[in-house]
Structure 1
Amino acid sequence: MRVPTFPLPPPPVVAGLLGALGSAQVVLHPADLVRDLVLAWCATLPLAFVRGLLWQAGAVVTAAVVLTLVLSGQPTVGALLAQATVLYLVAVRSSYRVALLFAVPSIAYAVGTAGWRTGLVVVTATGALAVGSSRRFRAETAERIAAAGAHADMADAYAARAERARIARELHDLVAHHISSISVQADTTRLTTQGLPAESADRLLRIAGTARLALTEMRRLLGVLRDDARSQPVDAPQPGLGQLITLVDDARAAGGSRVRLIFRGRIRTLDPGLELAAYRIVQEALTNSRKHAPGAAVDVEVGYADDALRLSIWDAGPGAGRSAGRTEAHGFGLLGMRERVAMAGGTLRTARSELGGFAVQAVLPVAGGGR
C-alpha cells in the first residue's frame, strides 16, 4: 500500500511546536517541574522521527502519556495531540494487530482507574487508531479494486487477441483451400489442354505463381498470429452447419438441459466461411447459455432463406442483468460474434427476450443463394 506522506509542516516542526506547548503548560502549572518537563518532551519530541522510526516513536509517546497519567494524573495538551498524531500514522501504515497493540496500554490503564482525564486519553488513542485504520482500509480497498480492474482489462485484452487470432486462422484455412485450388486448376489446365496458345499458357502460369505466392504470404501471417496468441494450429477440418447436431448433443450432455435444434427452409450447402461463422455463433451462444442460465431450456433455430441464413438462439433462463454490454464486460463471446457477423456483412442482435430469457439473433447474407 502506498504510505501517506506526513502533512505539512514537517514532523520536526510539529514536534517542536507540541513540545513547546507541553513545556509551557508544565511551567504554568508545575508539580514536579523537572519530571513533568521530561515526560512532556518524551511525549512530543519523538514525533520528529515518525518518517524513519514510526513504531519506536509511537511506543515512546504512548509510554510517556501513560506514565504521565500514573505520576501526575494529567498529560499536557501537546502530549495528547502528539499521541493522536503518531497513533493515527501507526494505524495508517500498519496492520490492525499492530494498531490494537498500541491501544492496549491506554485501555489497560483505564480498566484500573476512573476519571475524565483517563477517559480523554483512551478516547484520543482509540479514536486516532480507528480513524487511521479506516483510512488504511479505504486505501487498500481502492488498490484492490484498481488491481482487479487492471487484471480484468489485461485478461480481456488477451481474450480479444486470442479470439481474433482464432478467427483469422479459421479464415486462413478456408481461403487457403480456395487459393490452392486456383493454383492446381491453373497448372492442370496449362499442362493438359492441347493446342493452348503460348500467351494463354503464360497467363495460366502467372495465375498459378501468384496463387502460390499469396498462399505463402498467408501462411507467414498465420505463423505470426499463432505466435502472438501462443496457440497451436489445429489440423482438423473446420466445422460447419453439418456439425450442429453434434454440437447440440454435446451441449445437452455438458449442461444437462433441454436443447432443441430446429431447421427451417430448404437445407443446402453454403459457403464454408459462412457455415463456419454460423457454427461459431451457435457454439458461443450455447456456451453463454450454459454459463449464465445453467439447466435452462435452449432453442436453436437455423433458417435457410434465399438471400440469408438466419440464426436464433434463445434460452429460458433469467434475462435480467444479461444485456449485451454487461456480457461483453465479462468476456469476449459477444465481441467474437459481432466480428464474425461483421466480416460476413450481416447483422447481430443480442438482448433479453420478450418471452423472458436471453436471445441471440444473427442474419448472414448468402451470396448467390447457396448451392
Structure 2
Amino acid sequence: MTQGSSGRSAVARGVDTGLDRPVLLAVPLALFAVVEVMARGAGPGTDFVYGVLLALGTTLPLLLLRGQVLVAATTVTVACLTSMQSDPMVLTVAGFAAQLIVLYGLGLSAGRPLALLLILPYLVFALADTSEAARRYAVLIAVGSAGLAATGSDRRARTNAAALTATEQIMADTLVEHAARGERARIARELHDVVAHHISMIAVQAETARLTTPGMPDAGAKRLLDIGDTARAALTEMRRLLGVLREDSGVRAPQRRPQPGLTQLNELLDEARDASGTFARLIVSGQVAPLDPGIELTAYRIVQEALTNIRRHARGAAVDVELHYADDVLRLRIRDNGPGPPASPSSPGHGLRGMRERALTVGGELRTGPAPGGGFLVEATLPIPQEEGT
C-alpha cells in the first residue's frame, strides 16, 4: 500500500511540474487571441462579441490544466470546433496553440485514449464539406495534437516508471537495513555470551590461583594479578565495543563454532565449579526430549550468561540450575544464594538485556529479580512447538 501510494504521489508531482508553464500561458494567449480578433477588422457588434467569447473560450481554460485537465481539454476542443464552423472562421492562432497545449497536457496526465478521443472530431471535421481553410486547420490540429498527446503520454509513462523504481529501491534498502540491524544485534549477543564468558573465567581463575596457591612467589602472584586486571579491562572494553555495535556500527563477526545445546549444560557447570570453586548443581524434571535447536541454544546461552553474572557479582555463591520439561514449554530457573541485586540498581547491562532478547526471539519471556529467601533468580519460559512436545 505504501509503495503504490508513493508511486502515485511521485507521478502526480511530475504531472504538476510538467503543466506549470502552460498554465502561465493562459492569460497571454487570451490577450493575443482578443487582439487577433480585433485586428481582423470586426467592429463593435454581435459578431465582435461572439468572436471575443470564442477567443477566450479557446485560451482561458488553460488555467484549469493543473487541476481539471479533462475539463480544460474538452472546453478548448469544443470552442475550437465552434470557431472553425463559423462563417467566416474565427479560430485564432492563439486558440490553435491552446488546443495543442491542452491535448499534450491530457496525454501527460491521463494517457493517450482520452486525448485520441478529443482528436477524433477534427478528423471528422476534415472529411466534412467545409471551407478549405477549416479543413487545413483541422488536419494540422489532428496531426499536431496526436504527436503532442503521444509525447505527453510517453513522458507520463517514464515518470511513473521512475517513481516506481525509486519506491522499490527505497523499500529494498529499508529491508536490507532492517536485516543488517537484526544481524548486528545477533552478533552482539553471541560475542558477549561466548567471548565475555571465557574472559571472565580467565579473570576468576587468575584470582583464585593467586589466593589459593600456597607458597607462591611474589613475582608469580603479581603476574596472576596482572592477568586478572587485564581480563577485567578486556571485559570493560568489550562492553564499550558492544555498545557501539548495538548502535549499528556495521561490525561483522563470522560464526563457525557448532551451536551448543542442553546436553552441554553439565560441561558448563563443570567449568563454573573449576573456575571459582562454587557449588553448582543441575536439576532436571519432566519428560526429557530433544528440542528445537534454537530453543536449546537459547536456554544454554541464558544459563551461560547467568553463571557469568554470578561469578562477577556473587563470587563463591552456590547455584541451582533447574530445567522443567512440560508438554508445551521449557521452564528454566537459575538461582544463587549470593547477596542479591544491589539496593540501588542501575540500568540493566548487556547481559540481562541479551538474555531477555534471546527469550523473546523464540516467543518466550524472561524474569529477573531477588529470589525468595535471598540471592538472585533468573526465570525463563520458552514455548515448545507442538510437534516437538509430543
Query: What TM-score, normalized to structure 2?
Result: 0.47
User: Radius of gyration: which is bigger?
Assistant: 2
Query: What TM-score, normalized to structure 1?
Result: 0.49
